[in-house]
Amino acid sequence: MTVKRALSAELVVVDGKAQDWVQLFEVGVWKGHPQAQIEITPKMLEEFKANFESDGSDLVVQLGHDPSGNAPAMGWIRRGGGLETRAGGRELWARIDWTDDARPAIDAKKYRYVSPSWMPETLDRVTKKPAGARLMHVAVTNTPFFTELPPIRASREGEGAMDKVIEKLRGLLGLAADANEAAILPKLGALEGELVASRDGRKRLCATLGLGADADGAAIEASVGALKRAPAAAPAGADMVPRAHYDAVLKRVEALEATGSKGVIEGALKAHKLTAAMVPWAEAYAKSDPEGFAKFLETAPAVVPVTDLKVLRGGASGAGSGGDEARKLIAAYRETHKASYEAALLAVSKDRPELFNPQQRKE
């Protein structure tokens, strides 16, 4: 447990009467203390106040830094307003209710200083959770650890300049004229985050434009302008062509394919491998599957109207003749498959080519 007794303030006597309000702390850093360098922060001042009010008892102002607790009380700092922060949260003041025995000695300047004693890290007395800095007592003494407080004097000498800086910050951050450090610091933190994000975004933009990370605004603007003025480039890759070129080539290919399939179909008609009724089907087949259509024509037999057939067996008429058999097969196919005459003729001619004599078709 480390108890610190560091700072001191001179008691002020006006017209033979000691003043009740005494400054105990001011934000700053004090070097040269036997225990260590001492730093007082605005957060500590708030913790002193909060713990004092929550402890449930008044704080003794005693004669000297006697840790035994047996030193006589010279006065008391009362709860409910006995401690207050001033100067924008940078000073902690105490109102001392002097005892009847002590006041004459104070008024007579028999004691010149008050010196607070505190612990920088404590636990809440109920919850046992960390509660921060806590005042233990305030001593009246003539031999404080520091008879001078250079940081306090320096702070007061620079107070006017610092006030001007804070006032300027309030205006830049859009804060009220009485905004304190607790309101200013979060705004500064947010502004720092925005600046970091902007810096990182600028680096990424420079890298994308092929510029150095330290490129100025003029270089970035010139690079972006050049990109805006440049003509649109064709997509990268050897297999990519402009859309207009692709559409024109596609039309030419389709026209050539149509011309080619038309010639093939006309040849099939002349060879009697197709009938006129089969032309729409043949055109669609040739367009969707040219290779399949070509194989079909290779194996398809020549077809002719049944009325013109010269049957290989039995002549052109009579019971049991090839012509009668062909007619029956065609009729049966149409009935079974609900097919047209041409489709039935094609199917039967493929299945029974021996019933037909294409050479006689030309006679």
8-state DSSP, 99: -
Who wins on pLDDT, 112 or 149?
112
Who wins on pLDDT, 96 or 31?
96
Ordered DSSP codes for 103-163 = HHHHHTTS--EEEEEEEEEEE-TTT-SEEEEEEEEEEEESS-S-S--HHHHHHHHTHHHHH
pTM tops 0.75, yes or no: no
| Percentage of residues of the chain with pLDDT beyond 70 | 72
Average pLDDT over residues 290-302: 77
Average pLDDT over residues 228-243: 63
pLDDT at 330: 87
pLDDT grade for 253, boundaries at 50, 70 and 90: low
pLDDT grade for 214, boundaries at 50, 70 and 90: confident
Distance CA 9, CA 86 (A): 16
pLDDT at 18: 67
∠51-52-54 over CA atoms, to 5°? 60
Q: How far is CA 189 from CA 59, 68, 161, 184, in A?
A: 37, 45, 22, 9
pLDDT at 44: 92
The answer on pLDDT for 100 being more than 80 is: yes
Residue 256 exposure: Cα atoms within 13 Å on the Cβ side: 6
Write down the H helix ranges in the chain: 42-55, 102-107, 150-157, 159-173, 181-209, 217-229, 243-270, 279-288, 290-299, 322-337, 341-351
Q: Which of 10-14, 23-27, 113-117, 356-360 has the lowest mean pLDDT?
A: 356-360
pLDDT at 78: 93
Residue ranges of domains in the chain = 4-149, 162-209, 243-362
- Contact between 188 and 174 (Cβ < 8 Å): no
The answer on pLDDT for 172 being more than 90 is: no
What is the phi-psi region of residue 109: left when phi exceeds 0, alpha when psi lies from -120 to 50, beta otherwise? left
pLDDT tens, position by position, 313-323: 334 333 345 56
pLDDT at 49: 92
Q: What average pLDDT does the chain have?
A: 75
pLDDT at 84: 92
pLDDT at 197: 78
CA R_g for the chain: 55
pLDDT at 240: 67
Distance CA 174, CA 184 (A): 10
pLDDT at 2: 43
- Residue written as tokens 């850093």? 29
pLDDT tens, position by position, 267-286: 777 777 777 777 788 788 87
Distance CA 221, CA 248 (A): 40
Q: How far is CA 340 from CA 58, 136, 331, 343, in A?
A: 116, 115, 10, 5
The answer on pLDDT for 307 being more than 60 is: no
The answer on pLDDT for 154 being more than 70 is: no
| Percentage of residues of the chain with pLDDT beyond 90 | 8
Handedness of CA 111, 20, 78, 138 (dihedral sign): negative
pLDDT tens, position by position, 20-68: 888 888 888 876 555 567 888 999 999 999 999 888 889 999 888 777 7
pLDDT grade for 199, boundaries at 50, 70 and 90: confident
Neighbouring CB atoms inside 10 A of 22's CB total 22
Distance CA 247, CA 46 (A): 78
